[in-house]
A and B are shown apart, each in its own frame.
Chain A
């Protein structure tokens, strides 16, 4: 049986799609996810294309499909340690970090309430804190708390344990190692937001009220640090003049030499978030070229025609603090031929996508581009890569790609069962 199984590395929208499509076609699938929850980057979005629905609607149905399908197994807080090819199949070693909370957890929040320690909330990009015993986010799947051992010190764990009526807190939990034999591996490791503080002139981390596009998603999301109200970080003021700086790191050989594909659409989308909350607010989008692939062009027209939205050709190359916590950007208005300084309440950097494999390459014989993206043509038989592990893509393209990869991995596992040539 194991010979016909498929291993999916990464439980984001791509990995979930591969796993569900293959499992619903009758194949055994195991998902290995590094986070304590499934859903990946999509879970962090306020709304996503193409339908601009909140992730609840898209992810929840996938969570249910996972829950209801006995052929899908998944491991969270898991990491692939090694892979050895053997007779057309792969022996994969996976390590599991201790969650310190077992599956008796009913998510009653008692442990978090009792917990005296805090940790920066990475789900909200550090814009808020959670207790050291926490649920990653409201709709997290599995609906199971986690204890962050690094932040939970000096009797903190004991307090959590005492608060739990269900015996779910297990402080003695140890790291585990799993051996999985699989006939196909699908790499769905996804992306990280590029660390745009490396572009010092753009002010991230140096200038107050400069945030990234992913932070804007969290600010606008109902389960975000501000309960879905867009407020600027320094003083909680409602931002009425917002600038979007396109190509923050992308199309730049000093950072990411490629177009990150999604950032123009993200800024247009976030302009709609802003206008929905503050109809009188203005949005200024500074771009090199607006790139709205395929049918997205229509969305561009829609946002372009909104009142208070303006587009200026010219890359912002300097961002500085201004009085009252405002932010001044400098650019050359290319069409007007003038260098201008403009001051805003808040500046959103449309930071690009970086393949997760750039920071953490897999223990697999895979070739990467200089930027850490997987080169599909270099993959060995039985190994596939999907979505943003290969190139920057949106959710829709990731899902299409993942569906195709599901078929390929099924073929591979059938071949493997018949003895791969």
Chain B
């Protein structure tokens, strides 16, 4: 065994403890966790290794490690741990910190993950949206109806305000995520032993990863929290459904003969009425099913977390913020739709709240747990290329 000098970063150890890894120091390295973990490889299995790295404050080793994201927090380790060291919770805290480490900007990441700033974070979209309302001259409540019905598009003039705002926010978030992910990739790459050759091409690794994610292949290997993969799947697929809905609705907004974007910009297109109606029916169906599935899924996620709390730990602010935002998004979304159909003026403030949730989810995605899908996906691709999984 070669000799190495370790430089423990005690500040980092404290950070892990404060980030939700309170139990870190209880670990006595028995390695029960590495055995009961069904998603860990045989060679240098996790999470025992990560526990000792965290205890010694070996920040770089942890952050450039694909394993922290190859862990799906099944919590089999936590349930079987003889010391209550909760490796699942500790790795979750380290994941949160790695998002902070790689994301741009780190300042934003710190704000997003601290409860004191929650109201401030919400105040941003609320203020912007209220400014739009004021810009329309509706702040006094004098909102014109469309054929006697509430129509959100007219209320906030989505062509001019909402769509550009959310497009910009989404692009910024994607750019930030892209930078974060590439930093993580470089870090993982730097941790490879010299002369390593890929076991799989990038394209094949990406395809394989997408297949794994779509089928939740790894998630399904969890034992203690078996039910979680079903709940997660519901939320995951409803997000995909809502994404498709958004794209189709956006298409409609662009193409509509008189009121669409192209018409607004003076380049109207010819599109058959039936095609447009068909498009609307399709995305309404997908959207409504997805909304119901999202609410059901996220409620299941909450219930599972509560039920498993004793064995798996309740989770931290980082988890619950994300869960709450998703739940809030789904519930206010469905409410906004129902209230609009009921044609009651309460629909307007609910719609503002709903859009605030959407803003929250997108704008803060690179810093919140929303980023987990990108980091975990990247680690899985890397893991496949290096033969780790």
Interface residues of A, Cβ cutoff 8 Å to B: 201, 247, 251-255, 288-289, 313-318, 330-332, 334, 337-340
Contact = CB atoms under 8 A, between A and B. Distances in A.
Contact of B35 (A252, A255, A339): A339
A90 B5 CA distance: 65
A329 to B, nearest CB: 9
Contacts of B41: 339
Contact of A252 (B29, B31, B82): B82
Most buried by A among B32, B34, B48, B82: B82
Interface string B81-96: 0111000000000000
B41 to A, nearest CB: 8
A315 B83 contact: no
Task: Name the prevailing secondary structure of the B interface residues.
Answer: loop
A338 B42 CA distance: 6
Contact of A332 (B28, B31, B80): B31
Interface of B: 28-32, 34-36, 40-45, 48-49, 80, 82-84
A314 B31 contact: yes
Contact of A339 (B28, B29, B40, B83): B40
B48 A334 contact: yes
Nearest to B32: A317
A155 B31 CA distance: 56
Most buried by B among A288, A315, A338: A315
B261 to A, nearest CB: 56
B29 A334 contact: yes
Contacts of B36: 201, 317-318
A-B pairs with lowest CB-CB distance, top 6: A252-B82, A317-B35, A332-B31, A332-B34, A315-B30, A317-B32
B31 A334 contact: yes
Contact of B42 (A247, A254, A316, A340): A340
A286 to B, nearest CB: 10
Given A247-B30, A337-B49, A340-B42, A330 B83 contact: no
26 contacts: A201-B80, A251-B82, A251-B83, A252-B82, A253-B82, A253-B83, A253-B84, A254-B82, A288-B28, A288-B29, A289-B28, A314-B30, A314-B31, A315-B35, A315-B82, A316-B35, A317-B35, A317-B36, A332-B31, A334-B29, A334-B48, A337-B43, A337-B44, A337-B45, A339-B43, A340-B42
A334 B34 CA distance: 10
Contacts of B34: 332, 339
Contacts of B48: 332, 334
A340 B80 CA distance: 18
Contacts of B31: 313-315, 317, 331-332, 334
Contact of A330 (B28, B35, B44): B35
Most buried by A among B30, B48, B84: B30
A164 to B, nearest CB: 53
A316 B42 CA distance: 14
A330 B30 CA distance: 13
A254 B40 CA distance: 23
B203 to A, nearest CB: 30
Nearest to A253: B84
Nearest to B311: A254
Contacts of A288: 28-30
B32 A339 contact: no
Contacts of A251: 28, 30, 82-83
Contacts of A318: 35-36
